[in-house]
Amino acid sequence: MPQDVIIPVEFPHMVNPDPGRAYAREHRWGDRYRVTDDPVRWQRIRAAEPGKLVAYTSPEARGSGYDLAVDQMCFFFYFDNLVEELFFDNPSQAAPFIQRMADVLDPDIPSALHDRSVPAVAMLADLWADSSARMSWQWRHRAAGHWMDYLWANLAEAVDRYRGTAPTSIGSYLRIRRASIGLTPVLDMYEVAGGFEVPAGVYRQSDIRRLQTLACDLTVLGNDLVSHDKEDAVGDTYNAVIILRDHHGLSQRQAISQINAEFVRRAAEFHHLQGRLPGLCEALSFSSHDPALGGPGPGGRRAIRLPLPGTPLCPHDATLSLAECLHTWVGGHIDWMREAPRYAPEHALPGGRLAEA
């Protein structure tokens, strides 16, 4: 599918006013972990434009928090390519490798025992140390679980591809992809980069959980609309469009139309839930400490009014800010997909594999 594919719903969003910092950080990350020593691997990561994705999806990030968000996105694309290069044909090697990465999240394992000779381990160890040091134990507990879900879901995908047992229903497919797409660690990093923390009582509300699920689905389905033709060309069936065509008797055009419809339906539900969050705050007796929080920003979007680093947002503002982060992510991710050169055929992995978003 051409990269100017029409995503059926718009999510207006702001862009970070300092994209240059993100691009510069991307290159410093490559030098720090010596990824630039491998021109082929580095070119694949650069084709994903991780700095641009962060600039598009983190308009309020500043300083060291902004840098961490770029580091995280670079890691995602590095790990994505690594899994497909090394484990697609031999997933048995993936489990011990991923376990070494997961060990950096274990508070009972001293950092001196982390295997930093493995670049992916060093990357995640640095990300975790730098982000978790700024946050509460509740955030660390939640974020560690999200990282674990992400890491092991990627193994599940690799095994499915190896065995030829990829999901044949959209529901089963999305259950895996919601974790492997990596959005929940990104949401956790929004808090780090923004200098705020969502209280546990807010994070676990059903409307907030549903908004997160919808944002994951919109990310996955939007990606599949953009990339299905190239994935189809190399025999990768881990795509919602291909699943509908191959297992549900639909033509290619019918499958695209149905995924478009699913995208529109989920987007409408997202906007509906976001609109009723003030009622959730009222039900929980959350009151705003910042009356200006709801004011419109550039392009009609509300600016996320963040406190000084280390200052917690009140529950009301945290609720609305988290929802705004989700909205901004979906909109920025859509615009990034339209522009990123990684979807071009020349960025396929060895053996014809394509990196996923």
Q: What is the mean pLDDT of the chain?
A: 85
Neighbours of 125 (CB within 10 A): 19
For CA atoms 105, 107, 111, 114, the dihedral sign is negative
DSSP 3-state helix, strand, coil percentages of the chain (rounded to 5)? 70, 0, 30
Helix axes 50-57, 315-339, angle to 10 degrees: 140
| Contact predicate 67/34, CB 8 Å | no
Q: Is residue 89 very low, low, confident or very high in pLDDT (cuts 50, 70, 90)? A: confident
289 has a pLDDT exceeding 70: no
- Rounded to whole angstroms, the Cα distance separating 238 from 236 reads 6
Give the tens place of pLDDT for each residue, 93-134: 888 999 999 999 999 999 999 999 999 999 999 999 999 998
- Rounded to whole angstroms, the Cα distance separating 62 from 333 reads 19
Q: What is the pLDDT of residue 91?
A: 83
| Contact predicate 50/26, CB 8 Å | yes
Among all chains, which residue has been given the structure tokens 């908004």?
211
